[in-house]
């Protein structure tokens, strides 16, 4: 008969479960043996004392050796017999067996620090949890200071939720066939040693519900679902906003875990088509930072080489120095196969190694199989398995919890100097900002004086920016008054010059306007009316560049008013926002007034065409220019006509005398 160590706490939970299964004669657990052993199936299991556990550092190894060595386990049983019998004053009776009352923490194999008697990481991990709660409302701090934590990643239905519930020992997470984790759940487990509590010894607290304790863990599940629906909607969409839950219990180790949505391939329901990309982006934002410990969860019935969790973990942590692999559902592997090579890291090596666990199936959950029963089944499975009983340090939820607790504590201690420097740096920045705020103003007079001082400095800063006297002027681009000058002298003038005054004005338009101005009469002199009509049509083309220049100046003034940074105003962000709004309204009113003035100016210009302006060409000058342009052509015509007359006279003389006269006196143009 093989002798196996077992967990008295598990037996206590089993005795209090439905139907008192230990006393059930049909149950495989038989309590007919002596008071220091209990039979499960064909194995005799000694009931071990808590204190004996804490005294032996190799206790777990001895237990597993006793399970594999058979009769040699008698010495180990005798070794603990006296301690069990001496614990009757703190024991409970299950059937005919006396079982010591043991904390769930010790029954799960959670050790204590032998130096001070407190849980490992009891000092640093809760401190980091408090820092996380402080930084949570401030995204700027959270992005600059990354605190150590364990991030749980895996594909959908890989068993992440079951692992977390087993570590807590309670059912508190939403479960189902579809995607259940739609928001990051920051789970802070805090070991709490308490002698008595009239309200209960275990409870949960949400950061978004400060001061409210949830002693009913089913209520925690409902609140997680409700908060998820409030933030991510009632459909299957996801959100990157965190739900922060802290669980106080004497039965847990100090660990901070972040449960992220499972990687899904195909959108379901009303999920967006890019749901996989969004989930992967969220996961990468957590695991890329070196302060993060990655807990990559992969089911045993899937190929480890194609695991999404391990693939993403390798991309973020190529060396595998901060990745722990978890292989779930070891009990549903095909017969004749096992995960030994996986657990030993021979397939996908990880420096922190692997831990194998067993999850509750959906059928177990539907049958209301509690976490305690699942842990008992897991322990029995590993103790009786021919392969896994030799890998006891790599199997089971207790081993995973201890590993996470130890790795997280060591990781925090390694990052502590850098973390301390980052926090100090941010504290210096905040302290400098706090000094700017000055003393608290209590009276209305003090408030009015401070407000007047701020407004005066704001006006001075804006005036200096316009006049070019600002001490913070830029050397990279034109700003302030220089920019406005550039808009007028370069941009506006260039746009005016681009307007051709004769563009769109044809000879036919001019002729038509002249004909329309004289009615049925013949045109003897050019009237002024068509000139004014045509000029007005060209003048209005200058209105659009003028209005565009106005809006460019308005935009620059808005930019100037927003950039006036008065140091004292940083203390009052709402005042700055209100002042910017008032300046915008003031400048908008000025724009409306300026638009009316510009439009009125153009109406004046179009209403009266001043032909007496020095730049205007009057009628006499126009006639003079036209005569000068026409004079060369008329002179040429006269010379041509006189030449023809001389040639005629010469021909006539030839016909009379029989010879031509001398042509030397004739101009070359006529010859």
CA 32 vs CA 29, 35, 623, 652: distances in Å: 9, 9, 136, 166
The mean pLDDT value for 473-483 works out to 78
Give the residue with greater pLDDT, 55 vs 603: 603
Our count of domains for the chain comes to 4
**Residue 496 resides in a domain:** yes
- For residues 249 and 143, membership in a common domain is answered with yes
**Residue 112 resides in a domain:** no
Query: The domain spanning residue 185 has which CATH number?
Result: 3.40.50.300
Q: Is the pLDDT at 585 greater than 70, yes or no?
A: yes
- Measured in degrees and rounded to the nearest 5, phi and psi for residue 73 equal -75, -5
**Residue 220 resides in a domain:** yes
**Residue 491 resides in a domain:** yes
Residues 6+ apart with CB under 8 A from 64: 383, 389, 390, 392
- For residues 175 and 65, membership in a common domain is answered with no
The closest alpha carbon to 191, from 258, 259, 103, belongs to 103
Rounded distance, CA 211 to CA 279, Å?
32
Rounded distance, CA 20 to CA 15, Å?
5
The closest alpha carbon to 539, from 610, 617, 620, 489, belongs to 610
- For residues 567 and 623, membership in a common domain is answered with no
Furthest-apart CA atoms within the chain: distance in Å: 174
Q: Please report, for the chain, how many H helices and E strands are present, in that order.
A: 23, 14
Q: Which of 558, 573, 607 is the last residue of a domain?
A: 607
pLDDT, residue 596, reads 92
User: Can you say whether residue 437 is alpha, beta or left, with left for phi > 0 and alpha for psi between -120 and 50 degrees?
Assistant: alpha
pLDDT, tens digit, for every residue of 125-147?
Answer: 888 888 888 887 776 666 677 88
- For residues 593 and 625, membership in a common domain is answered with no
Rounded distance, CA 197 to CA 193, Å?
11
Rounded distance, CA 258 to CA 242, Å?
9
pLDDT grade, residue 121 (50/70/90)? low
Name the least confident of 255-259, 384-388, 607-611: 607-611
Domain that holds residue 62: 8-102
Query: The domain spanning residue 564 has which CATH number?
Result: 1.20.120.1240
- For residues 225 and 143, membership in a common domain is answered with yes
- For residues 216 and 170, membership in a common domain is answered with yes
Q: Which of 607, 628, 658 is the last residue of a domain?
A: 607
Give the residue with greater pLDDT, 57 vs 433: 433
Rounded distance, CA 328 to CA 406, Å?
21
- For residues 383 and 510, membership in a common domain is answered with no
The closest alpha carbon to 516, from 506, 530, 496, belongs to 530
Q: Is the pLDDT at 152 greater than 90, yes or no?
A: yes
**Residue 63 resides in a domain:** yes
- For residues 643 and 552, membership in a common domain is answered with no
Give the residue with greater pLDDT, 195 vs 87: 195
The mean pLDDT value for 600-624 works out to 75
pLDDT, tens digit, for every residue of 163-203?
Answer: 988 888 888 888 766 667 889 999 999 887 655 455 557 89
- For residues 636 and 547, membership in a common domain is answered with no
Rounded distance, CA 373 to CA 369, Å?
6
pLDDT grade, residue 363 (50/70/90)? confident
- For residues 594 and 629, membership in a common domain is answered with no
**Residue 437 resides in a domain:** no
- For residues 40 and 171, membership in a common domain is answered with no
How far does the chain reach from its first CA to its final CA, in angstroms?
148
Task: Pick from 259-268, 585-594, 647-656 the range whose average pLDDT is largest.
Answer: 585-594
CA 624 vs CA 401, 416, 504, 621: distances in Å: 107, 95, 27, 5
The mean pLDDT value for 262-289 works out to 85
Percent of the chain residues topping a pLDDT of 70: 70
**Residue 647 resides in a domain:** yes
**194-210 burial by CB neighbour count: b if 16+ within 10 A, else e?**
eeeeeeebbbbbbbeee
pTM of the model: 0.56
Token pair, residue 440, equals: 């608290």
pLDDT, tens digit, for every residue of 303-334?
Answer: 887 888 999 999 999 998 999 999 998 888 87
- For residues 535 and 655, membership in a common domain is answered with no
CA 351 vs CA 325, 397, 412, 421: distances in Å: 10, 19, 17, 28
**Residue 555 resides in a domain:** yes
């Amino acid at each position: 008969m093989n002798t196996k160590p077992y967990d008295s706490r598990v037996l206590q939970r089993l005795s209090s479960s439905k139907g008192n299964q230990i006393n059930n004669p049909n149950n495989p657990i038989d309590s007919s043996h002596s008071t220091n052993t209990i039979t499960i199936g064909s194995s005799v299991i000694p009931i071990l004392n808590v204190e004996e556990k804490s005294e032996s550092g190799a206790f777990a190894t001895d237990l597993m050796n006793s399970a594999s060595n058979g009769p040699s386990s008698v010495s180990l049983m005798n070794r603990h017999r006296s301690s069990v019998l001496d614990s009757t004053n703190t024991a409970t009776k299950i059937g005919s067996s006396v079982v010591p009352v043991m904390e769930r923490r010790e029954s799960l194999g959670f050790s204590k620090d032998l130096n001070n008697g407190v849980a490992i990481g009891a000092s640093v991990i809760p401190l980091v949890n408090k820092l996380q709660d402080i930084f949570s409302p401030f995204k700027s701090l959270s992005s600059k200071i990354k605190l150590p934590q364990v991030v749980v990643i895996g594909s959908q239905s890989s068993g992440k939720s079951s692992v977390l519930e087993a570590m807590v020992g309670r059912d508190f997470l939403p479960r189902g066939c579809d995607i259940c984790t739609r928001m990051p759940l920051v789970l802070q487990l805090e070991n709490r040693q308490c002698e008595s509590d009239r309200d209960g010894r275990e409870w949960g607290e949400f950061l978004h519900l400060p001061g409210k304790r949830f002693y009913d863990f089913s209520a925690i599940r409902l609140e997680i679902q409700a908060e998820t629906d409030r933030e991510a909607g009632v459909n299957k969409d996801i959100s990157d906003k965190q739900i922060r839950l802290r669980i106080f219990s004497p039965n847990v180790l100090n660990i901070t875990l972040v449960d992220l949505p499972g990687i899904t391939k195909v959108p379901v329901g009303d999920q967006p088509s890019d749901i996989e990309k969004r989930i992967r982006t969220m996961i990468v934002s957590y695991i890329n930072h070196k302060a993060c410990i990655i807990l990559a969860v992969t089911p045993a019935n899937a190929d480890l080489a194609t695991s999404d969790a391990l693939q993403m973990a390798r991309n973020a942590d190529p060396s595998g120095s901060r990745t722990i692999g978890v292989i779930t559902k070891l009990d549903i592997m095909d017969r004749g196969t096992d995960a030994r090579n996986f657990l030993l890291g021979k397939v996908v090596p990880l420096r922190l190694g692997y831990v194998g666990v067993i999850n509750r199936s959906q059928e177990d959950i539907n049958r209301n199989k509690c976490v305690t029963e699942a842990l008992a089944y897991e322990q029995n499975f590993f103790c009786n398995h021919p392969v896994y009983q030799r890998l006891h340090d790599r199997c089971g939820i207790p081993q995973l919890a201890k590993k996470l607790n130890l790795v997280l504590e060591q990781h925090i201690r390694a990052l502590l100097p850098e973390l301390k420097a980052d926090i100090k740096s941010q504290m210096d920045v905040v302290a400098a900002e706090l000094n700017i705020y000055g003393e608290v103003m209590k009276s209305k007079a003090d408030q009015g004086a401070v407000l007047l001082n701020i407004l005066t400095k704001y006006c001075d800063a804006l005036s200096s920016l316009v006049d070019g006297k600002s001490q913070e002027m830029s050397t990279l681009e034109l700003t302030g008054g220089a920019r406005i000058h550039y808009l007028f002298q370069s941009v506006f003038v260039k746009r005016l010059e681009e307007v051709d005054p004769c563009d769109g004005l044809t000879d036919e338009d001019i002729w038509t306007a002249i004909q329309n101005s004289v009615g049925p009469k013949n045109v003897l002199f050019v009237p002024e009316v068509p000139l004014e009509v045509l000029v007005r049509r060209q003048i209005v083309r200058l209105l659009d560049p003028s209005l565009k220049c106005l809006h460019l100046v308005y935009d620059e003034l808005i930019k100037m008013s927003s950039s006036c940074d008065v140091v004292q105003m940083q203390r009052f962000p709402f005042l700055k926002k209100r002042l910017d709004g008032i300046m915008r309204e003031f400048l908008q009113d000025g724009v409306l007034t300026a638009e009316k003035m510009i439009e009125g100016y153009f109406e004046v210009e179009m209403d009266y065409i001043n032909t007496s302006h020095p730049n205007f060409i009057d009628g006499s000058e126009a006639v003079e220019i036209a005569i000068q342009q026409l004079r060369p052509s008329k002179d040429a015509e006269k010379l041509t006509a006189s030449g023809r007359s001389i040639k005629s006279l010469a021909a006539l003389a030839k016909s009379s005398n029989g010879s031509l006269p001398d042509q030397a006196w004739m101009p070359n143009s006529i010859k």
